[in-house]
Amino acid sequence: MDFSKVAGKNNKHKVVLYALSTCMWCKLTKQFFEENNIEYEYVDVDLLEEKEKEKVRKYLQEKGGTLAYPTVVVDDVTLITGFRKDELKKVLEL
Amino acid sequence: MTTIEAVKQRAEADAKTFGYYLTPDPVFLQGLLEGLKRNEERYGYPSCPCRLASGKFEYDRDIICPCDYRDPDVQEFGACYCGLYVRKDVYEGKTQLLPVPERRPIEKQARAYGTQLVETSSQHVPAAPKQEISKEESARQRLWYCKQCGYVVFREEPPYICPICKAKREMFVEIRAHLDFSG
């Protein structure tokens, strides 16, 4: 699966964003990372092939997540669903 | 092909009819309208820009904007899931617009994944979901009527204004009736 990488000075944590290309809350999440110089990678799930969408579903559900977007996975462990600024700040130590 | 203007007019008309407002943030609004337009172009119907659609009408019916979850979400959280429709106090800036948790059942969300795979890889085609109101749903939904014009609606709470005569919510009275969906 191709993730788009966005460079940033702050690469303390591995940040992966599962997003939808049409979703404004996902756009706000991307903006938030960029404003805070967070290095992250993302995938717009709606633009993926069916097989890959299914992989995302399995992955998120195995991680105990829901299927709502945006979902941010920090360091492969912490899942944050929805654009929850306070939670993101806490986990990313901002 | 639809235009942003057409999508906006439709949303504005719907908001006006039911006593809602569109999000006051112009950038946020523009983004949502573009998302709705994009979905209408690729799926044939304006499904929620913040939810993954399957592209199959029968699976996506409940998330076509205005979605089935708008009324209870605006009532409880001040905005619908994507934030397009908001309550008056949110529109006026008295209440902050915060992310709305997903109310759509997970089994419905999961239908957006792998449906095409199932159909192409085997003979087994999943049956289209029945349009039934679950027991849980029917327990929450009630019948209301507008004392001014007699309009009747089946939902959790009465609308903010009557879509027919524009009477205020206070004019709605619950109709006490026993509904049996068990057949």
ipTM of the assembly? Answer: 0.94
CB B87 within 8 A of CB B95: yes
Dihedral sign of CA atoms B165, B167, B169, B170 in order: negative
What is the residue-wise DSSP string for A26-88? HHHHHHHHHHTTB-EEEEEGGGS-HHHHHHHHHHHHHTT--S-SSEEEETTTEEEES--HHHH
Q: Encoding tokens for residue A90?
A: 């806490």
Q: Please write the tens of the pLDDT for every residue from A30-86.
A: 999 999 999 999 999 999 999 999 999 999 999 988 899 999 999 999 999 999 999
Per CB-CB distance under 8 Å, the chain A contacts of B53 are: 46
| Number of Cβ within a 10 Å radius of residue A82 | 21
**Pick from A51, A66, A84: CB nearest B99:** A84
Q: Please indicate whether, in this complex, the C-beta atoms of B52 and A67 are within 8 angstroms of each other.
A: yes
CA distance B140 to B135: 9
- 10-residue block means of pLDDT along chain B (183 residues)? 93 95 96 97 97 95 96 95 97 93 93 67 49 66 92 92 92 84 72
Whether the CB of B50 is below 8 Å from some CB of chain A: the reply is yes
**What SS3 state is found at B120?**
helix
The owner of tokens 């110089």 is A37
pTM for this structure? 0.84
**DSSP classification of residue B79:** B
Chain A residues with at least one Cβ partner in B under 8 Å: 20-27, 45-46, 50-51, 53-54, 56-57, 66-69, 81-84
